[in-house]
Structure 1
C-alpha cells in the first residue's frame, strides 16, 4: 500500500470517527408528533368536532341572533344569546353526528365524504352514536334549564326531523328529500324567537318560510357538482338525476318563493326601508343568479358554473338576516 493510500484511509477513518462522536454528542431526535399524547388527543377532539359538521352550524349563527334581536325589539341580554347559541350548537351537532352514523355506509363510497371520521376509523361507530346521544340529551337539558321549555321542545323536533324524516325516510328515496328534509334547517329561527319571547309569532313563521324556500335553491347547485357521488350510492338528489337546465328551473322557482316570503316580513314585523331595500335588491340578485344559471346551461352545461349559485345563495341569506338585525337595532336606537 502506498503512503498516499494510507493517508486517505486515515482521513476517512477520522471522518467516520468524527461523525460517530457527533452523533453521540447530538441531542436525541424528538419523537414524531403523532406519537405524543397531546397530538393524539388533538386529533381525537378534531374528529369528534368534524362529526358535528361545523359548516352547518354557520346557518345557526347567521339566522338565530338576528331573529332574537327582532323578537326582542333590540339587543337581548348577552347570557341569553350565549345560552341559545350553545344549546343550538349542541343540538345541531347531535343531528349531524346521528346523520354521519346512519350514512357511514354510503359516505365510504363518496369522494366528498370519504374522509369523515366514522369512515376513516378515527371514531368507532359505537363511540360516534354515543357522542350523538350525549349531545342530544345535553342540548335538551341545557335549553330546558337555561332558556325555556319551548326552545327545548323545538330543539328536540329539529333533531328528530333531520335524523328520522330526512336521513332515514327521505334522503335515499325521493328527489324531494332536501325540500322536506330541509325543514330541519328552519328550526333555528323559531328556536331563537322562542328563546327571546317564550312564544312563536308570525314573524318567526315568515323567517321559517324564507329558509324553507331558500334551502333547495341553495343545495341543488351543490348536488350538481357532486352528482357522480350521489349516483354512485343511489341517492336521488335533483342534481344527480336531472340536467343542469332542469335544476336551474327549479332553483329559480324556489328563489322567487324565497324573495317573496322575505317581503312579507315588511308589513308583518314593521320593517323599515333598510330591510326593505336589502330584501328587494338581494332577492333580485338571488333570482337573477338563477336565471344566469339557466341561460348558461342552455348554451353549454359545462359552462353553467352551478357553484356560483351556491356561493350567491350563502351571501344572500347572510345579507338578508344582517338587514333584519340592523333594521331592528336602528329602530331601537332612535325609538
Structure 2
C-alpha cells in the first residue's frame, strides 16, 4: 500500500514536471508581451465588453501565441541545440521530444482559434489563425534559414496581438489598430538586430543568416539606426489619425528620440566594429521602450 502511494506521488511529480516543460515550449516571456499588447488593443477600443469576455479573449490569444512558440521550437530544435541562448530549451535537453511538442502545438492552435471564434467573433479567430500560420510557415519554416530579412518580414506575426485585442472588443477592423501593428512591425528589426550583433557567434554556429553574418557589422549598425528613425513617423501616425492626443505623443516622441540617439551611438562607433555593451543596452532599452509606448496608449485613453 505504501509503495503504491509512493508510486502515485512520483507520477504526480513527474506530471507536474512535464507540464512545466510543456509550458516552457510556449515561450512565456513572449506570451507576456502578447498578453500585454493584446490587452492594450482591447482596452483602447471604443466598444466595451465584459471583464469575463475580455479575460477569455486575451487568454485564448496568449494560448495561440504559445502554440506558435511550441511549433517554432519543434521545427527549430536542431538549431536550438547549437546555440547557447537556446540549448537549454525542453527539446534540446531531452525533457520533451519533438513529437510531443508537435502534438502540443497543433492541439493548442486548434483549441485557441476555435474557442476564440466561439467566445468572441470570427474576425478575431481569423487573425489569430493567420498569426500562427504566418509565424510557423512563413517565418520559421520559410524565411528563418534563407534570408537576413527573416526578422523584418517575420516580425509581422508579433504585430498582430494588439490588433486582435481591438477586434475582440469591436468585431471589426479600422485604421486605429493599424498603428499598433506598425509600431511593433518597425520596432522588431532594430530590437533583434541589436541582439544578433552580440550573439553573432551563436547564429554562426546554427548557420542562421542574420544580418551581421550576411551583410557585416557596419551594414547591421546602419540598418538598426535607420529602423530606429522610422519609429518617428510611426509614433506620430496615431496622433495624425486622431487616435491619441499629446498625452501619448510627447512622451512617446521623447522615448523614440532617445532610442535614435542610442542607435546612432552604436552606428558611429568604429567602422566594422561594435560596442557590445551598447548593443546590449539597445536590446534592453528596446524592450522597455515598447512596453512604455503601449503604457502611454493606455494613459492617453484614460485622460
Per the TM superposition, whether the score is higher than 0.5 is yes
Q: Structure 1's 39 and 242: CA in aligned 2 closer, same or farther, altered over 3 A?
A: farther
* Distance in 2, Cα, partners of 1:292 & 1:299: 14
What SS does structure 2 have at the residue aligned with 1:111?
Answer: coil
* Distance in 1, Cα, partners of 2:57 & 2:228: 29
For 1:214-233, what aligned pairs fall within 5 Å after superposition? 214-233=187-206
* Distance in 1, Cα, partners of 2:92 & 2:74: 9
**2:26 and 2:70 in contact (8 A); partners too:** yes
What SS does structure 1 have at the residue aligned with 2:23?
Answer: helix
* Distance in 2, Cα, partners of 1:80 & 1:291: 44
Contiguous gaps of at least 5 residues in structure 2: 1-5
What SS does structure 1 have at the residue aligned with 2:294?
Answer: helix
* Distance in 2, Cα, partners of 1:116 & 1:224: 22
* Distance in 1, Cα, partners of 2:182 & 2:115: 27
**Structure 2 partner of 1:284:** 257
Give TM-score scaled by structure 1 length. 0.84
> Post-superposition shift, 1:167?
0.7
* Distance in 2, Cα, partners of 1:153 & 1:229: 35
* Distance in 2, Cα, partners of 1:240 & 1:300: 13
**1:231 and 1:241 in contact (8 A); partners too:** no
Q: Following TM superposition, where does structure 1 have runs of at least 4 consecutive aligned residues deviating by more than 4 angstroms?
A: 297-300
For 1:136-285, what aligned pairs fall within 5 Å after superposition? 136-285=109-258
Q: Deviations over 1:12-37 (max 9, x none)?
A: xxxxxxxxxxxxxxxxxxxx9xx933
Q: Deviations over 1:243-296 (max 9, x none)?
A: 443222111111111221111101313422110112211111111111121223
Q: What is the root-mean-square deviation of aligned Cα atoms in Å?
A: 1.9
Give TM-score scaled by structure 2 length. 0.92
**2:248 and 2:296 in contact (8 A); partners too:** yes
**1:66 and 1:321 in contact (8 A); partners too:** yes
**Structure 2 partner of 1:129:** 102
**1:297 and 1:303 in contact (8 A); partners too:** no
**Structure 1 partner of 2:3:** none
**1:171 and 1:236 in contact (8 A); partners too:** yes
**2:176 and 2:243 in contact (8 A); partners too:** no
Structure (1 or 2) with the greater helix fraction: 1
* Distance in 1, Cα, partners of 2:56 & 2:184: 23
**2:217 and 2:272 in contact (8 A); partners too:** no
Q: Which has the larger radius of gyration?
A: 1
Q: Which of the residues 58, 67, 70 maps onto 2:41?
A: 67
* Distance in 1, Cα, partners of 2:35 & 2:259: 21
Q: Structure 1's 270 and 163: CA in aligned 2 closer, same or farther, altered over 3 A?
A: closer
